[in-house]
């Protein structure tokens, strides 16, 4: 059971963003995010979008830094990954929207 974080490299809204995921459960991910004070609006179906200025803080709190590729591989292996083509339908089903 691990919370993983990739290196921020996705520009949007005047900053650079990375992703925070769990390789075990969404419950683990939400617990970690709540403890770190991440806003619920930053959750996007299978990950939290996190700005570059929070990266080091989240690593210090226990998130394990990995490459984007490893993050996706481990998220897929966990069964928690929501595929790109399924994202709109899943958002409609869950009543959520993209953080960016």
- pLDDT tens readout for residues 28-87: 999 999 999 999 999 988 899 999 999 999 999 999 999 999 999 999 888 878 776 655
Pairing of the two strands 15-22 and 48-51 = antiparallel
Task: Bin 14: left if φ > 0, else alpha if -120 < ψ < 50, else beta.
Answer: left
User: Are the C-beta atoms of 58 and 64 separated by less than 8 Å?
Assistant: no
pLDDT score, position 100: 47
Of 71, 43, 15, the residue nearest 32 (C-alpha)? 43
pTM summary value: 0.81
pLDDT score, position 52: 97
């Amino acid at each position: 059971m691990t919370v993983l974080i990739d290196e921020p490299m996705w520009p949007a809204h005047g900053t650079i963003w990375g992703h925070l995921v769990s390789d075990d459960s969404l419950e683990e991910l939400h617990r970690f995010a709540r403890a770190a004070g991440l806003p619920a609006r930053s959750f996007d179906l299978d990950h939290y979008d996190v700005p570059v200025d929070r990266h080091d803080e989240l690593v210090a709190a226990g998130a394990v830094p990995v490459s984007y590729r490893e993050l996706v591989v481990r998220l897929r292996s966990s069964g928690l990954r929501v595929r790109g083509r399924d994202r709109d339908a899943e958002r409609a089903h869950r009543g959520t929207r993209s953080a960016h």
